[in-house]
Amino acid sequence: MSPPVGPRERLRELGLGLPPVPAPRGRYRPWRRAGSLVVTAGVIAADQAGVRTGRVGDDLDVEAAREAARVAALALLAILDEAAGGLDRIAQLLLLHGYVRSAPGFGEQPRVVDAASELLAAVLDEAGLHARVALGVSELPLGAAVELQAWAEVAGG
Low-confidence ranges of the chain (pLDDT < 70): 1-3, 47-49, 157
Residue 22 falls within a domain, yes or no? no
Output the pLDDT for position 156: 82
Is 132 in a helix, a strand, or coil?
Answer: strand
Residue 113 falls within a domain, yes or no? yes
* Tens-place pLDDT, residues 74-111: 999 999 999 999 999 999 999 999 999 999 999 999 99
This prediction has a pTM of 0.94
Are 86 and 133 in contact by the 8 Å Cβ rule? The answer is no
Residue 55 falls within a domain, yes or no? yes
Output the pLDDT for position 47: 65
Output the pLDDT for position 1: 65
Domain count, the chain: 1
CATH of the domain at 70: 3.30.1330.40
Range of the domain at 63: 32-154
> With left for phi above 0 and alpha for psi between -120 and 50, is residue 125 left, alpha or beta?
left
Strand partners, 132: 96
C-alpha distance from residue 78 to each of 18, 21, 71, 105 (Å): 6, 5, 11, 33
Residue 20 falls within a domain, yes or no? no
Residue 27 falls within a domain, yes or no? no
